[in-house]
A and B are shown apart, each in its own frame.
Chain A
Amino acid sequence: MTHLHNQQPAPAPGSQPVADHDLSDALLERVRQAVQDNTPLRLVGGGSKGFYGRPVVGETFSLAAHTGIVHYDPVELVVTVRAGTRLADLQQTLAEAGQQLAFEPPHFADTSTVGGMVACGISGPRRPWGGSVRDFVLGTRLITHDGKRLHFGGEVMKNVAGYDLSRLMVGAQGTLGVIDEVSFKVLPLPAASATLRLEMSRDTAMARLAEWGREPLPITGAAHDGEALHIRLEGGPGSVADTQARLGGEPDDVDFWQRLRELDLAFFSRRHDSRPLWRLSLPHRAPAVPLDGDELVDWAGAQRWWRSDTPAETVRRHAARVGGHATRIDLDQSHGIETPFTPLSPVLAKYHHRLKAELDPHGIFNPGRLYEGL
């Protein structure tokens, strides 16, 4: 089925504007205090992605009350938001102006905040075509280790002055500084979209996607669940209808993408399968994992969700062999697990530690969240 202009839920009647609470001064004070007391801080936004990293020992430092949309000018395609703003609130504001965060970030909970979303850097099903969180970050205000609030990047599309500290924060999970405010590039919602289900084997699906990928088709989602290929088309009504006619298949439930993005499909449920869950980030044409387990393919092959009892070492070795990496995800561990991420090579680790030592010399920001000692 083709949907026009209804990608995002319509704003609830009488929806409230985002509360405007600038707590920057209090946040700065808290950081200065932490440095003085030599107390590590455990940075928390909405607490929705605690599972995604290592447990942090430190005093809880919540950014959730630091909310508000600082600037939004739809014509400029730029929005600037305080870190504690709920992601859902930002997306509703954008949707009311016919715009979106094109990288389709997951929420995992209603409480999910913009700061947490940037810090974790997780992008949704549109990522291979639309870009990632960091691709859309234009600027940040950061609270640094010496309790200063500094501005990097800006509110313009192109800006190559100085090092790109803003994009460096994406995925650093607060270990290099506190994200106080972020500016994003936003894009129009697609005029039309359609979701198709094509019953075909995994290997056939991968071969088709490789062919289609070399053509300018309006594909913005491609996942294989073991039985069928799910395709999302987004663009003008003409191209979506033409491509739908060409690819065929059955109309599919549009909720599929949301459930995939939110890790809410049966595949992700522990009740459904209690084996460990892995996220494999691989070159998209890497062959199927030749180890015992079940696979759910997203990102046209570049992101593989995988359930298996295979030892972690073996999983990571396999991912590295084909040019990618493996992340262990346990959605039930709300404070994280000991070794979620693929260990860094010694040289890379050396430069990570040096950068950490320069930007967080007292080791107060989310110590150990990504790797031990970082």
Chain B
Amino acid sequence: MNILFDERLDGTLPAIDKDALVTHLTAHLPGMTLLHREEDLRPFECDGLSAYRVLPMLVALPDTLEQVEALLGICHAQGVPVVTRGAGTGLSGGALPLEKGVLLVMSRFSRILDIDPEARTARLQPGVRNLAISEAAAPYGLYYAPDPSSQIACSIGGNVAENAGGVHCLKYGLTVHNVLAVNILTIEGEHITLGSEALDAPGFDLLALFTGSEGMLGVITEITVKLLPKPEVAKVLMASFDDVEKAGKAVGDIIAAGIIPGGLEMMDKLAIQAAEDFVKAGYPVDADAILLCELDGVEADVHDDCETVRSVLEAAGATDIRLARDDAERATFWAGRKAAFPAVGRMAPDYYCMDGTIPRRELPRVLKGIADLSATHGLRVANVFHAGDGNMHPLILFDANAPGELALAEEVGGKILELCVEVGGSITGEHGVGREKINQMCAQFNPDEITVFHAVKTAFDPHGLLNPGKNIPTLARCAEFGAMHVHQGQLPHPELPRF
């Protein structure tokens, strides 16, 4: 397995005397919870990507910003790597601990500091759960738009670190479009505010740079998000197709009709069957694909758009079109989609969720490629697709207890991502690179581009203490494991040491 931190390829980490560090931290931060015994560390050994586990050296659970600042100060002075973690729901191993590092857990910072209905903003500590924001804003008719499927549990700090998405991104944007400001603690212990409650700030757009930077540039200590008025109405159409390609084309036809749906989701046959078995959403189990199209906004427009979409779907060859009668049925239609991951999870002991994005026109080619990979490797793949914005979530079914199957699933996953890059897409739409896709980064970016990423990192964390080994691969790793393109036997950067 090449995914765990490997000092030969990912860079050496300083040798730390754990006992001395515990003594030092306890002396300087007597009030902070510090876990160091194996049984206490065990619950923190992985995030949402549970196939990969590493026991951290120490886990710190601070309650105050002063503690975070002091902890970073000590780690900076002693050269101790720090991995920051929120709710630990990330799917790319972005919060995978390091044996030689401190895991800084921000979950106790869970207070909503302010909901301002006049300003339509919420000021939050990083550990506030995504859904809790919308719940707190609901009495004012407002909500926070990005809704990753883990929204019951995931925290806003992690959402910013990963630039989290959700099913409503096409119309309402990703986290980066919905955050006004963040407070950061640098590894050198400085407090900085990026962005503001105004709509812009002087200087470089560091807010955009930090969003999605996976804890590599600083520690997020406070977030201000914008809140939106709840749409007056939302309606959902479910269309069945006897052919995945027709469903894919229908998506483009809806967009071409000038409509930006609030949500536009597609599921293939295996995903439909899994969801239907699990939640009885009334899905047509004989269909090859379904589209769920949510239209939201002001009543008059939603009514008109529903008519337009219905005729587009008919023209695209839908075999059945159903409009949810009421909010209860709308919720049922969505329940199947929202439960798709656990539903697929019931069909096999394990599943591996991928997160590639593609230009939508390439959907038929990519689905065919996935089907071929599935057949040749003997692993079933269910496809769930944020169709509106080209974000695919192929779910690879496998059994981790069967020898070699995890490696096989990883291989299929890696090839799917390389296929996404090949058709002009990306290895990750919303889950992040983390540790999981560190090798595929070498397929999406060339060594010069990766060198620029390292330059950005150096500007904020010159000693590489924040989340080392995540997000951006070393050139040595790309040369060894990456899918770097080799032209005429010439590896890029032949001057790099090989181990």
Residues of A within 8 A of B (CB): 73-78, 98, 121, 127-128, 131-132, 134-135, 144, 146, 148, 150-152, 154-165, 167-168, 170-172, 176, 187-189, 191, 210, 213-218, 235-239, 241-243, 281-285, 299, 302-303, 323-325, 327, 341-345, 347-348, 351-352, 354-355, 357-359, 370-371
In the docked arrangement, what's the CA distance between A170 and B444, Å? 22
Shortest A98–chain B CB gap in Å is 6
A sample of 12 cross-chain residue pairs with beta-carbon separation below 8 angstroms, ordered by A number, consists of A150-B452, A159-B357, A160-B174, A162-B449, A163-B457, A164-B209, A216-B297, A238-B303, A242-B300, A283-B196, A302-B199, A358-B459
Q: For residue B471, give the distance in angstroms from its CB to the closest CB of chain A.
A: 7
List residues of chain A with CB within 8 A of the CB of B427: 161
Starting from the known contacts A158-B386, A215-B229, 19 additional A-B residue pairs (CB-CB under 8 Å) come to A76-B359, A131-B177, A156-B359, A158-B169, A159-B429, A160-B162, A162-B441, A162-B444, A164-B212, A172-B204, A189-B258, A213-B120, A235-B297, A282-B198, A283-B197, A302-B199, A348-B203, A354-B459, A359-B452
Q: Mark B residues whose CB is within 8 Å of A.
A: 117-120, 140-142, 162-163, 165, 169-170, 173-174, 176-177, 186, 190-192, 196-206, 208-209, 211-213, 217, 229-232, 252-253, 255-256, 258-260, 297-301, 303-305, 357-361, 386, 388-391, 424-433, 437, 441, 444-446, 448-450, 452-453, 455-460, 471-472
| Contact (Cβ within 8 A) A163 B199 | no
Contact A188 B258 (CB under 8 A): yes
Residue of A nearest to B431 (CB): A160
Q: Which residue of A lies closest to B296 (CB)?
A: A216
Across the interface, name the chain A residue whose C-beta is closest to B462.
A354
Contacts of B142 in A (CB 8 A): 214
Interface of A is mostly: loop
Chain A residues in 8 Å Cβ range of B174: 158, 160
Q: Which residues of B contact A352 (CB under 8 A)?
A: 203-204
Contact present for A214 and B444 (CB under 8 Å): no
Find out whether the CB atom of B205 lies under 8 angstroms from the CB atom of A161. Answer: no
Which chain A residue shows the least CB distance to B204?
A172
Contacts of A341 in B (CB 8 A): 202-203
CB distance from B70 to the nearest CB of A (A): 18
A350 nearest CB neighbor, chain B only:
B190
Complexed CA–CA distance, A217 and B229 (Å): 9
- Residues of chain A within 8 A (CB-CB) of B165 are 158
Residues of chain A contacted by B301 (CB below 8 angstroms):
218, 235-236, 238-239
Tell me the smallest distance from the CB of A101 to a CB of chain B, in Å. 15
Q: Are A214 and B229 in contact (CB under 8 A)?
A: yes
**Contact A75/B256 with A158-B357, A162-B433, A323-B198 known, Cβ cut-off 8 Å:** yes
Report chain B residues within 8 Å CB of A359: 452, 455-456
B297 touches which of A154, A187, A239, A302 (Cβ 8 Å): A239
Contacts of B163 in A (CB 8 A): 160, 164
CA distance A341 to B203 in the complex (A): 8
Shortest CB-to-CB span from A117 to chain B, Å, is 15
Task: State in angstroms the CA–CA spacing of A120 and B191 once bound together.
Answer: 27
Chain A residue at smallest Cβ distance from B92: A160
B259, B359, B361, B458, most chain A CB atoms within 10 A: B359
A75 to B117, Cβ gap below 8 A? no
> Are A131 and B252 closer than 8 Å at their CB atoms?
no
* A59 CA / B209 CA spacing, docked (Å): 30
Does A235 lie within 8 Å of B298, measured CB to CB? yes
Give Cα A214 to B138, complex, Å: 11
> B389 and A158: CB pair below 8 A?
yes
Q: Is the CB of B198 within 8 A of A157?
A: no
**With A131-B173, A216-B298 given, is the CB distance from A160 to B430 under 8 Å?**
yes
CA A282 to CA B201, docked complex, whole Å: 10
Pairwise interchain contact B202-A344, C-beta atoms closer than 8 A: yes
- Residue in B117, B170, B456 whose CB lies within 8 Å of A355: B456
Shortest CB distance A51–B (Å): 16
Residue pair A239, B390 in contact (C-beta under 8 Å):
no
* Contact in complex: B445, A299 (CB < 8 Å): no
For the complex, what is the distance from the CA of A251 to the CA of B217, rounded to whole Å? Answer: 50
CA distance A345 to B206 in the complex (A): 14
Q: Would B357 and A127 count as touching, CB distance under 8 A?
A: no
Return the 7 tightest CB-CB contacts between A and B, nearest first. A238-B300, A236-B301, A158-B429, A167-B208, A157-B389, A239-B298, A188-B258
Q: Does the CB pair A156–B229 fall under 8 Å?
A: no
Residue of B nearest to A156 (CB): B357
Query: Once the chains bind, are A158 and B204 in contact (CB under 8 Å)?
Result: no
